[in-house]
Structure 1
Amino acid sequence: MLNKYPIVAIATAPGRGGVGIIRISGPQLGPFAYALLKQDLKPRRAHYCVFPDSHGEPIDQGIAIFFSAPHSYTGEDVLELQGHGGPAVMQTLLKQCLHVGSAFGLRMADPGEFTLRAFLNDKIDLAQAEAIADLIDASSETAARAAMSSFSGHFSKKINALSESIIQLRMMVEATLDFPEEEIEFLEKYQARERLNKIQENLNLVLKQSKQGLVLREGLHVVLAGEPNVGKSSLLNALSGEDLAIVTDIAGTTRDKVTQLIHIQGVPITIVDTAGLRDTTDKIESIGIERSWAEISKADVVLNLKDATKSNLAIDEKIAFHRSPKSTLLTVFNKADLLKTIPPSGEDVIYISAKTGNGLELLIDRLLYLAGWQPGQESPWLARQRHIDALESASHHLKLAEMHAQQDDRVLDLFAEELRLAHDFLGTITGQMSPDDLLGQIFSRFCIGK
């Protein structure tokens, strides 16, 4: 059984800090806490303690807090030791915990195991557990707020409400199937079609909001590609608002990629400035160009940056060849300030001047659009691709149920089956229908100590 033995880990980030925390969770930790600290601890109270080694010599001094089950993060007994955050101190105290805890079966925690135990002990659902990791990884205030909303249960409540609506409709269908002799016109009498339409409307709204939440979490990976001296580094500097890349008139200044994360309306956008694409005998520059092609193949959006005063179609074919079929290719003509007349921009072609800033706002709006972000419709929660996939699958089965509902009560069994499948897919979001391999994938990506 997973929760049979206690686990321990350093809960604070690696490195030096003012405070370091060691967390222990498991059943009936009272005897272990006394063996370690030589004093009784009252639940949910801070105790000033000396943390002794096996010879009674102090390792550190700090605060010990004991949380008795089920009133803890994991739902088990939890002991937290808060001391000074030096790596040597933390490691020595951790070793002492393992030494004393050997008699109690104490072992090192696996990545995400504290949160996994919280999930298995019904303290949180799966969507909330994922939100904890997303909150830690959030790269903007907007994303952090959305992750906190998910952790607070906002997203789960929406999913549970949808599930409950489907359950109510399923109960009526199943009851009709169990007593067919009553010959009740189910679809008409219980307004099944109207109920189903309302469920579909609510699910579509949740799906739309979740897609916004996915953009906040994953953002966009944008690669600046093109020949030397078309202004890739100037554009990176203009978008980031910093002089990150060296800008000169000398061709081939950028020989390796320069990566910068920026936030636009809370959306994380990773911009990669690459080496200019050209034929060269310079070994170092050649390596940089190979890396450029590699980055182009991984991009969500490839900005094919060109000099508005020149034209070279050969490089366009090479970029189109190397980019992923799933990526979007956007042609950006830079140095538009040198033109007498600036042509109008379109969906796939934009004229800008990285020097003057002209056209940058249009480019930014286009990038947000390609990311799937809709200004003014901020997501109330953060979402993952698996949530979107589950919602879309549930929507698909509701559409099949709607198709059966257009017939008559002779296909009620098919109607009921599609409702069941839609309900099951919603259950995978909160963990009600999650297989063990999915749990392993999710929690293995957490940091140790969480």
Structure 2
Amino acid sequence: MPSHSIDPVIAIATAPGRGAVGIVRLSGARLHGFAHHLLGKALQPRMATYLPFPDAQQQAIDHGLALYFPAPHSYTGEDVLELQAHGGPVVLQLLLARCLQAASESNPATGQAWLPGLRLAEPGEFTQRAFLNDKMDLAQAEAVADLIDASTESAARSASLSLSGAFSAEIHTLLEQLIHLRMLVEATLDFPEEDVDFLEAANAQGQIHTLQTQLQTVLQRARQGALLREGIHIVIAGQPNAGKSSLLNALAGAELAIVTPIAGTTRDKVQQTIQIEGIPLHIIDTAGLRHSDDVVEQIGVERAWQEIAKADAILFLHDLSRQHDSSYQQADADIAARLYQQADARPPVIHVWNKLDLIAAPAISTEDPAQEPALLCISAQTHQGLDALRQQLLTIAGWQAMPEGVFAARTRHLQALHEVAQHLQNADDHLQSPLPALDLLAEELRLGQIALGQITGEFTPDDLLGVIFSKFCIGK
């Protein structure tokens, strides 16, 4: 956090726009006297007081509730003052301006400003102060933002689980066992003539294997939580008039994309987030893939390929009504060849045959160079086969329901857990070698401890903290 973090801060803590209630929040030191000066009345800690909020001329800006939370028993661990008024933007801006004005006014008793240095809070600064004051660890702080940003009920529940400390508790359990094992190994470095026998007696290898098993359980729950938080991006691709826009509309349950019999109607991407069993899937409809002399359509096709390159999965949509058209089959084959020429880590391709409602008995014959799973036949018009497609999308996403719940996890959490797994594997390899190098074994355990500590913030660099909290909303 920057050096001015000791300054008192203020922000409107409710979302922009009109609402029944709006909150102006302050955090800093010695707010009790400032609150008395601002409001003309002493506030009792943790008790809501209904009173007018006066301006500089002692005319009421509004009437509402004032709450004072003395340090350290507050959200940030500092003194916190909240003014709860009616949620009009003008009212809240007037309150904000009045607080800034009152902060600079002179205290007759000291001759100094009532609240010197009061400034507008930066994004996430209230929660960042809570983290720095040990009110929560970094994983819990991130869960605050995840709970606010949750797009599904399942995502909200997983964020709430992490905010309660469940994810952090699992990490701390792993840390304690890893530290114990590390101390055991480093203690043997003082007695090199007995090191191997000592580690065997302490079952060091068994402890590593137990750690690896527990780590995989945490990693699996975290991976599912990251899926709930971020979802996956799925691109619908195919030739013009294959029914891509109709499929998007069918999956979304709304007429989002224009559908006409005219080839090339979709010229730019149309995106919608849908939920399947609580998993957010970001579905992107793209322009039909074909050669065109139309400059605008060419741009749309190029953008389609750009989206395909970034996708987590691709729905390659085919037209059953044209399955016997040799030119259509050749064009599909050309598209498939380009799909499989993408980067080595290309996304999975789901082949879907649409317009099942237009034919009596589909007789699909296609050669798939990647030997993908069985093809799906659907009708975007009648919704036949859509349930099977939804389940296939969940399978591609890697979703597995966890009876004990999942944690709201981020990419950095998964990277850290994978790093720990690698260090544990290296440690196990060193321990199993004919002549164990205990110094290397101890170093791998130390690096694993650091990687685990990055999740909860024990070893997190300041620049990473800046990136994390800058993505929070103002006032939180």
Distance of 2:429 and 2:452 partners within structure 1: 20
From the superposition, tell whether residues 265 and 96 of structure 1 become closer, same or farther in structure 2 (CA, over 3 Å): same
Distance of 2:205 and 2:451 partners within structure 1: 21
Alignment partner, residue 143 of structure 1: 155
State whether structure 2 residue 258 is matched by structure 1 residue 256. no
State whether structure 2 residue 401 is matched by structure 1 residue 380. no
Question: What are the superposed Cα offsets for residues 197-219 of structure 1, whole Å, 9 maximum, x if unpaired?
Answer: 11111001111111111111111
From the superposition, tell whether residues 403 and 16 of structure 1 become closer, same or farther in structure 2 (CA, over 3 Å): same
Contact 2:430 2:436 in 1 (8 A): no
Contact 2:140 2:165 in 1 (8 A): yes
Contact 1:296 1:323 in 2 (8 A): no
Contact 1:132 1:151 in 2 (8 A): yes
Contact 2:162 2:407 in 1 (8 A): yes
Contact 1:173 1:186 in 2 (8 A): no
State whether structure 2 residue 100 is matched by structure 1 residue 94. no
Unaligned runs of 5+ in 1: none
Q: CA deviation at 1:196?
A: 1.2
State whether structure 2 residue 247 is matched by structure 1 residue 247. no
State whether structure 2 residue 204 is matched by structure 1 residue 192. yes
Q: CA deviation at 1:394?
A: 0.4
Alignment partner, residue 269 of structure 1: 281
Distance of 2:195 and 2:294 partners within structure 1: 84
Contact 1:8 1:24 in 2 (8 A): yes
Alignment partner, residue 369 of structure 2: none
Alignment partner, residue 433 of structure 1: 459
Structural mapping, 1:341-352, within 5 Å = 341-343=362-364, 347=373, 349-352=375-378
Distance of 2:429 and 2:341 partners within structure 1: 42
Alignment partner, residue 361 of structure 2: 340
Deviates more, 1:80-89 or 1:166-175: 166-175
Contact 2:340 2:346 in 1 (8 A): no
Question: What are the superposed Cα offsets for residues 10-65 of structure 1, whole Å, 9 maximum, x if unpaired?
Answer: 00001111111011001121121112111111110001121111111211111100
Contact 1:143 1:266 in 2 (8 A): yes
Alignment partner, residue 14 of structure 1: 16
Distance of 1:226 and 1:182 partners within structure 2: 67
Alignment partner, residue 401 of structure 1: 427
From the superposition, tell whether residues 117 and 326 of structure 1 become closer, same or farther in structure 2 (CA, over 3 Å): farther
Aligned to 1:415, what secondary structure does the other structure show?
helix
Deviates more, 1:339-348 or 1:286-295: 339-348
Contact 1:342 1:351 in 2 (8 A): no
Find 1:368's aligned residue among 379, 394, 404: 394
Aligned to 1:368, what secondary structure does the other structure show?
helix
Unaligned runs of 5+ in 2: 105-112, 324-328, 367-371
Distance of 1:157 and 1:284 partners within structure 2: 54
Alignment partner, residue 110 of structure 2: none
What TM-score does the superposition give when structure 2 sets the normalisation length?
Answer: 0.89
Deviates more, 1:292-301 or 1:109-118: 292-301
Contact 1:212 1:378 in 2 (8 A): no
Contact 2:236 2:316 in 1 (8 A): yes
Alignment partner, residue 171 of structure 1: 183
Alignment partner, residue 138 of structure 2: 126
Q: CA deviation at 1:283?
A: 4.9
Alignment partner, residue 68 of structure 2: 66
Contact 1:298 1:323 in 2 (8 A): no
From the superposition, tell whether residues 375 and 336 of structure 1 become closer, same or farther in structure 2 (CA, over 3 Å): farther
Q: Which amino acid counterpart does residue 441 of structure 2 have in structure 1?
A: F
Contact 1:209 1:379 in 2 (8 A): yes
From the superposition, tell whether residues 190 and 89 of structure 1 become closer, same or farther in structure 2 (CA, over 3 Å): same
Q: Which amino acid counterpart does residue 249 of structure 1 have in structure 2?
A: P
Contact 1:222 1:303 in 2 (8 A): yes
What TM-score does the superposition give when structure 1 sets the normalisation length?
Answer: 0.94
Q: CA deviation at 1:374?
A: 1.8
From the superposition, tell whether residues 363 and 295 of structure 1 become closer, same or farther in structure 2 (CA, over 3 Å): same
From the superposition, tell whether residues 380 and 410 of structure 1 become closer, same or farther in structure 2 (CA, over 3 Å): closer
From the superposition, tell whether residues 184 and 33 of structure 1 become closer, same or farther in structure 2 (CA, over 3 Å): same
State whether structure 2 residue 303 is matched by structure 1 residue 294. no
Find 2:417's aligned residue among 391, 394, 402: 391
Q: CA deviation at 1:5?
A: 1.5
Distance of 1:404 and 1:410 partners within structure 2: 6
Counting aligned pairs with the same residue, the percent is 55
Deviates more, 1:171-180 or 1:43-52: 171-180
From the superposition, tell whether residues 419 and 45 of structure 1 become closer, same or farther in structure 2 (CA, over 3 Å): same
Distance of 2:417 and 2:403 partners within structure 1: 19
Contact 1:401 1:419 in 2 (8 A): yes
State whether structure 2 residue 316 is matched by structure 1 residue 304. yes
Q: CA deviation at 1:92?
A: 1.2
Alignment partner, residue 238 of structure 1: 250
Contact 1:329 1:348 in 2 (8 A): no
Question: What are the superposed Cα offsets for residues 297-333 of structure 1, whole Å, 9 maximum, x if unpaired?
Answer: 3322222212123322334345556789543333322
Structural mapping, 1:272-283, within 5 Å = 272-283=284-295
Contact 1:344 1:351 in 2 (8 A): no
Count of matched residue positions in the alignment of Structure 1 and Structure 2? 450
Q: Which amino acid counterpart does residue 414 of structure 1 have in structure 2?
A: L
Deviates more, 1:188-197 or 1:133-142: 188-197
Deviates more, 1:64-73 or 1:375-384: 375-384
Aligned to 1:185, what secondary structure does the other structure show?
helix
Contact 2:376 2:389 in 1 (8 A): yes
